[in-house]
A and B are shown apart, each in its own frame.
Chain A
Amino acid sequence: MKFMEPKVSFSEETLKLSEKIISHYPEGRQKSALIPILHLAQAEFGGWLSVEAMDYVAGLLKLKPIEIYEVATFYTMYNLKPTGKCVIEVCRTGPCWLMGAEKIIEHLEKKLGIKAGETTTDGKFTLKVTECLAACGNSPVIQIGEKYYVNMDVEKADNLIQNLNEGMRV
């Protein structure tokens, strides 16, 4: 199989990490590393997976590009279009809904002037609704990056946005 010269590529450090991940699986089973490596790719290439990024991963793992696309489109953690600098994910499933998640989502939509799934025009925030984050004892829950913000309400969500906004201004 011939690949075109990739338009993007991993840093040396990420490349090393990828090799380590690939080594966790038996010889010839490097496809198993796909999901963890797509996480690396998303982090390295600006928070989303462009076709170029996916094609690069295909080359890295010696897979056909279609094998990457079908996985990237299946799992909801992969963003297939650019996102804002800060992706706010609000859980909306039963236990969070019971404790008022809907109000938080409505409030954030109003405050940010966007619908869930959209990005603010200044490119700062993307608002997403998400399904159960396994933290129902501290619902409602908001996830930003790797961090969980728990026992949220409208006021706390407000403060959170405020702080993030200020953080980004610096």
Chain B
Amino acid sequence: MSIKILFENIDVDGIDSFEVYRKLGGYNSVEKALKNMSPEDIVEEVKKSGLRGRGGAGFPTGMKWSFIDKAPGKSHYLIYNADESEPGTFKDRHLMQYNPHLLIEGLILSCYAIRSNTSYIYIRGELMYVMRILEKAIEEAYANGFLGKNILGTDFSLDIYCHPGAAAYICGEETGLIESLEGKRGNPRLKPPFPALNGLFGFPTIINNVETLATVPWIINNGGEQYAKIGIGKSTGTKLISACGHINKPGVYEIELGLSVEEFIYSDEYCGGIKNGKKLKAVVAGGSSVPILPAELILKTAKGEPRLLSYESLSEGGFETGTMLGSGGFIVMDEDTSIVKNLLTFTRFYRHESCGQCSPCREGTAWMEKILNRIVEGKGNEKDIDLLMDIANNIEGNTICPLGDAAAWPVQSAIKHFRDEFLIKPEIV
């Protein structure tokens, strides 16, 4: 069994209550931090830990925090990004639903680190039932003096509010989220200015993913250096991988970064192999937007080395032969899967979720869906494949936010690795 940081107590009966959570050492890190550490100390520990954003981009968390405008007299906001919507990703929901106090503990530490006295948990609107779990946990934390005015008798005060969205993938993007939190359409903003200087209501704002901040209590309890010893190279610590598709044991697994993909797919501790004894065909390893890889390239890199679940190993070979760790949404497809039909569902998703601000994304995703529909109906030809690739290439890099890239990569990679399948007649697919 590998080390468990986020899932250590997730199966304990009643862990969602303050009482049980506290009895097992919950909120100890808050006591330690508020009494013995300065905000800068927290940032320093997180920097030392090498923790990287778990939402998909993998940006070092401590560094992100250090960008915040510390000008006195200004409000600072920390937003908890719980708008988990990337197809294949369901790790944050799992964490929030079963261990809500861990999130609040992480949030208190992180707000203290950036001197924020107000925090919003932006949670996707479909997850109202999870929001109620969080609200109950927040209420308990207030009642026990871990939220509100002068926490633990210090001069640090913090209020946390839950804010539901209303179904829009784009609000997972930092600036789309801020717009939405201001009561507007979730159209992403041009950067710069970055939210750390000019974010919510024009004030310095940090946006972090649920899993990222839930890791902070362990780092404060055990030290950043200890955390950095877990994992491999610059991929320190553990990561939640949500596995789905044609596997025997779909679910959310906490893995030590550096675990081999082969072990993850075939070991009984994790996915338990491919369903019905079928062969593995392809994997989308980090949520729907990352490049799809055929079995041989997901198990081994082009150089023939075992592929590992880490930021570096998964991106080994660039987009030619590699992919990304992304959000950790691990979608497995067996030998009978139609890559093109699966791609159509992804492209339809991005067309549906495009906010419509940038024409390459708004028009391009719709064109790609139209062409893919044609191909799936068996009416496509060679030129359609080139046209698809051309559209994808013209979306990539030409939009305000990364949704354009996210829509382009699945198309580009599916054509790169499975071009022959685009012209199979439907009766065979």
A interface residue numbers (CB < 8 A to B): 24, 26, 29, 31-36, 38-39, 61, 67, 70-71, 74-78, 92-95, 97-99, 130-139, 143, 146-147
Contact = CB atoms under 8 A, between A and B. Distances in A.
Nearest to A42: B166
B180 A94 contact: no
B357 to A, nearest CB: 11
B316 interface: no
Q: Which of B87, B89, B355 has the most CB of A within 10 A?
A: B87
A35 B245 contact: no
Interface size range on B against A: 35 or more
Contacts, number: 139
Contact of B183 (A31, A76, A94, A136): A31
Interface string B181-212: 11111100000000000000100000000000
A61 to B, nearest CB: 8
A118 to B, nearest CB: 18
Given A39-B164, A76-B166, A147 B129 contact: yes
Given A134-B127, A136-B331, A146-B128, A35 B250 contact: no
Q: Which of A76, A94, A135, A136 has the most CB of B within 10 A?
A: A94
A136 B166 contact: no
Given A74-B186, A94-B349, A137 B342 contact: no
B242 A137 contact: yes
Interface string B142-185: 00000000000000000001011111110000000000111111
Nearest to A35: B166
A24 B163 contact: yes
Nearest to B84: A134
B22 interface: no
Interface in B26-68: none
A68 to B, nearest CB: 9
Contacts of A75: 125, 165-168, 186
A35 B90 CA distance: 23
Given A134-B84, A136-B87, A137-B251, A71 B126 contact: no
A29 B164 CA distance: 16
Given A29-B201, A39-B164, A93 B346 contact: yes
B86 interface: yes
Given A29-B182, A35-B180, A137 B90 contact: yes
Contact of A92 (B182, B245, B284, B345): B345
Q: Which 8 A-B pairs have the closest CB atoms?
A: A75-B166, A31-B183, A34-B183, A136-B244, A137-B250, A77-B166, A74-B185, A132-B87
B242 A136 contact: yes
B346 A94 contact: yes
21 contacts: A32-B181, A32-B183, A35-B165, A75-B165, A75-B166, A75-B168, A76-B167, A76-B352, A77-B167, A93-B288, A95-B87, A95-B245, A98-B244, A98-B333, A131-B349, A132-B86, A132-B87, A134-B89, A136-B329, A137-B242, A138-B250
Contacts of B250: 136-139
A142 to B, nearest CB: 12
B204 to A, nearest CB: 14
B287 to A, nearest CB: 10
A35 B331 contact: no
Interface string B230-265: 000000000000111110001110000000000000
A135 B85 CA distance: 10
A159 to B, nearest CB: 22
A35 B284 CA distance: 33
A20 to B, nearest CB: 10
B342 A94 contact: yes
B288 A135 contact: no
Contacts of B286: none
Contacts of A24: 120, 161, 163
Given A33-B183, A76-B352, A134-B85, 19 more contacts: A31-B183, A34-B183, A35-B165, A70-B184, A75-B168, A76-B166, A76-B168, A77-B125, A77-B166, A78-B166, A93-B348, A93-B349, A94-B284, A94-B331, A134-B92, A136-B242, A136-B329, A137-B90, A146-B128
Contacts of B273: none
Contacts of B167: 75-77, 130-131
Nearest to B125: A77
